[in-house]
Amino acid sequence: MMNLAIAMSAPARRTVSSSLARLLAGGLLAAGFAGAASAHAVLTPPEASPGATWRGAVRIGHGCEGTPTRLVRVTIPDGVVAVRPKAKYGWLIETTWAPYLKPVDIHGKKVMEGVKTITWKGAALPDHMFDDFEFMARIQPDVALQGGKLYFPVYQECEKGSFDWSQIPAVGQDANDLKAPAPALVLAAGQGSGSGVIAGAAHAHIANTRQVVVSGGWARATPKGAKVAGAYVTIANGGSKGDVLLGGRFDVADRAEVHDMTMTDGVMRMRHLEQGLEIPAGGSVELRPGGLHLMLMGLKKPLLPGDAIKGVLTFRDAGDVAVTLPVEPAGSPGPGKAPAGAASPDGHGGQRHGDHGH
């Protein structure tokens, strides 16, 4: 785990500026989102809107008996049409087709059949890594649900052993009690944008996946040429089991990592939480300047006050939670709060990452 100590004097901060920025920018999530290794197969993003196109993936978090995954197959439920898998380097993709329950209008044409299964094979996903197997589909407005959800059974075959993620909970049963639950989509009421985000969530800057609720999110503006930025949210877990925030991804950055900052005897200590951040059952965690926060790595453009950035936060169990974060001015302590006049100790107030802590 990375653990860096930087003296608070200005000369020292300038000395480590370039090397620290390069080190942090180049620091991949070496643990491979290690917490994902214990997760079931899930769909990401886990929400969709009836009548809209959903673009997402089956996420495989581990192999079988310590061996690599060699084959992944997803079965498409009735009411999901116009299915198209995305090409995946190194993997051979096969599909089987079956008749629709009734003719479907696709681009003005009546279509009688479509993809029923998608199989990815021919490559290997190591046991200690996770990966997404992507496809897109349209969710019919009248699709039949089970407990408000739409289930996509997944079969996973490894060098040794296999998993059949196909169990569907009975009425009133918690899917977490099943040994091999089928991945599920939660359907939001009304029409969607096709992005998998619950309608209205982006405008409220709040997202909800299963029992995990993300709210109060925001990010800090950055100067031209900056490669990192700070972002902050509050995460509440209303479930009976703890979850782990593993990181995330945003359109404006290469990736998002979870970081912590502490101050001891005038020395700032910065840490990338490679194992993720625990969100306790029935509890909440606030990410804020000067402490726990998200660091957006490899910015592709400056963040400007008044902008809003879209992305997802990735959790071990809840999967991906879509968020939209408003951008506050550099040095801002948060929406609606008076700025202190200078960049706060977390260091994302418009300076280079190596010039200060985060």
3-state SS of 186-251 is EECCCCCCCCCCCCCHHHHCCEEECCEEEEEEEEECCCCCCCEEEEEEEEEECCCCCEEEEEEEEC
Query: Are the beta carbons of 33 and 44 closer than 8 angstroms?
Result: no
| Nearest by Cα to 77 from 196, 168, 191 | 168
Of 118-122, 239-243, 339-343, the range with the highest mean pLDDT is: 118-122
Which three-class secondary structure state does DSSP give residue 109?
Answer: strand
Least confident of 62-71, 150-159, 236-245: 236-245
Q: 186, 183, 319: which is closest to 245 by C-alpha?
A: 319
Highest mean pLDDT pick, 40-49, 182-191, 210-219: 40-49
Give the model's confidence band at 339: pLDDT under 50 very low, under 70 low, under 90 confident, else very high. Answer: low
Q: Which one is predicted more confidently, 157 or 272? A: 157
Band (pLDDT 50/70/90 cuts) for residue 81 is: very high
Q: Which CATH architecture has domain 3-33+200-355?
A: Sandwich (2.60)
Q: Which residue has the higher pLDDT, 218 or 198?
A: 218
What does the domain layout of the chain look like in residue ranges? 3-33+200-355, 46-187
Determine the average pLDDT of the residues in 309-333: 86
Is 348 a residue whose pLDDT tops 60?
Answer: no
Q: Does domain 46-187 have CATH number 2.60.40.2230?
A: yes
User: Which residue has better confidence, 219 or 3?
Assistant: 219
pTM for this model (two decimals): 0.48
The pLDDT score that the predictor gives to residue 144 is 86
**If you average pLDDT over residues 56-66, what whole number do you get?**
93
Give the residue with greater pLDDT, 265 vs 77: 77
Q: Cα(114)–Cα(112) distance, rounded to whole angstroms? A: 7
DSSP 167: B
Q: How far is it between the farthest Cα atoms of the chain?
A: 71
What's the rounded mean pLDDT across residues 180-207? 53
* Residue 305: predicted pLDDT: 87
Question: DSSP code of 104?
Answer: E
Give CA–CA dist 306/219, Å, rounded: 10
pLDDT over 60 at 356, yes or no: no
pLDDT in tens, 99-146: 998 899 888 889 999 999 999 999 999 999 999 999 999 999 888 888
Give the model's confidence band at 177: pLDDT under 50 very low, under 70 low, under 90 confident, else very high.
confident
Q: Fold match between 3-33+200-355 and 46-187?
A: yes
Least confident of 95-99, 126-130, 155-159, 203-207: 203-207
Alpha-carbon span 21 to 58, nearest angstrom: 34
Name the residue with tokens 């990010």: 219
Predicted pLDDT at 77: 95
Q: What is the C-alpha separation between 88 and 325, in angstroms, rounded?
A: 30
Question: Is 95 a residue whose pLDDT tops 70?
Answer: yes
Residue 67 in this model has a pLDDT that exceeds 80: yes
Both tokens of 45, joined, read 């993003």
Q: What percent of the chain has pLDDT over 90?
A: 41
Q: What is the mean pLDDT of the chain?
A: 78
CB-based burial label for 112 (10 Å; 0-12, 13-18, 19+): exposed
- On whether the CB atoms of residues 58 and 183 are closer than 8 A, the answer is yes
Residue 92 above 80 pLDDT? yes
